[in-house]
Structure 1
Amino acid sequence: MAEIKELNAANFDETVKSGVVLVDFWAPWCNPCRMLGGILEQVAAELPADVTIGKVNIDENRDLAVKFEVMNIPRIFIYKDGKIVNDMSGVQSKPKLLDALKNA
C-alpha cells in the first residue's frame, strides 16, 4: 500500500526527488477535492509501498501553490525522480490515476 503524506514547504522537495510521487493540490472547502481524496485512498490501497501520494493543502501552503502555478483545484502532478511527468486538473477516475502512475 502506498503512503499518503501531507506535504509542505519543508518536506516537498525531499519527497518528490526520487521514485514515483503523485501530488494532489487541494483545499478542505473544495467539494471536488474531497471526492478526489476518497479516490486517492482507493488508489493508495492498490499501489506498492514504494509509491507515495502527497497532499498539499493550498490554504496552508500558498507558496507551493504559487510556485507550481496552481490556479484550479484539485490539481495533480505526477513526479518521477524529481521531474513532473504528468499534470492533470479536476477529479480523475481511479483507473486513469492508476494508469498514469503505472506509466510514470
Structure 2
Amino acid sequence: MIILETNWNLLTPVLLLAAIVLFLIVRMYKIRRVLIGGGGPETSENTIDLTDQTFEKVIGKGVSLVDFWAPWCAPCRMQGPIVNELADEIAGKANICKMDVDKNKKMAAKYGIRSIPTIMVFKNGEMVKQFVGIKPKATLLKEIEKHL
C-alpha cells in the first residue's frame, strides 16, 4: 500500500491563493450586481420619489434629505441602497427622497447639480447641507439628526 505524503510547504500557499481568488471573485460579482442593477429595488416604501412638480411641497416642511441621481450613474446605484436603508430607519422623522435628474431637469438646474450623486439636506425648504459623492449612512443620519 502506498501512503501519499502531503507536502504542506507547497499545499498551504496554494490553498491560501485559491481562497483569495475565490474571495475576489465573489466580491467582484457583488459589485457587478450593484452596478448593473441587481443591487435591490430603486426605492423602499419609505423613500419618496420627487418630481419637479412635487419638490417644493415635500421639502417645504420639516427636515428632508434629497438624493439627486440618475439610473446610468454607477456611484448613484451604490448610494441608492444606503438612502433606502436610511429611509426605513428614520421613517416618519424626516422625508427621505430621491430625484432622477434626467427626468426632472428644472430642480436639478435650480440647485446647480453638476455631479451626481448629490445629496442635499433641507430644513423647512432651505438647504442646510450638501454632499457630493457616495456618503455612508452614518454621515447622512448624523446630519439629519442635527436638524430635527
What is the TM-score normalised by the length of structure 1?
Answer: 0.94
CA deviations 1:43-76 (Å, max 9, x no partner) are: 1121141311111101101111111100000001
* Runs of 4 or more consecutive aligned structure 1 residues displaced over 3 Å after TM superposition: none
Matches of 2:81 and 2:54, distance apart in 1: 23
Between 1:43-52 and 1:80-89, the stretch displaced more is: 43-52
Say whether residues 1:80 and 2:119 are aligned partners. Answer: no
Percent identical: 36
Q: After the TM superposition, which residues 93-104 of structure 1 pair with which residues of structure 2 at under 5 Å, given as runs? A: 93-104=136-147
Task: Pick one of 96, 101, 106 that aligns with 1:58.
Answer: 101
Which runs of no fewer than 5 residues in structure 1 stay unpaired? none
Q: Would you say how many aligned residue pairs link Structure 1 and Structure 2? A: 103
Provide the aligned C-alpha RMSD in A: 1.2
Letter in 2 for 1:67: K
Question: In the alignment, what sits opposite 1:14?
Answer: 57
Which of these two proteins has the greater Rg computed from alpha carbons? 2
Matches of 1:4 and 1:44, distance apart in 2: 6
Q: Which structure is higher in strand share?
A: 1
**Structure 1 contact 25–73 (Cα < 8 Å) conserved:** yes
**Structure 1 contact 3–51 (Cα < 8 Å) conserved:** no
What is the TM-score normalised by the length of structure 2?
Answer: 0.67
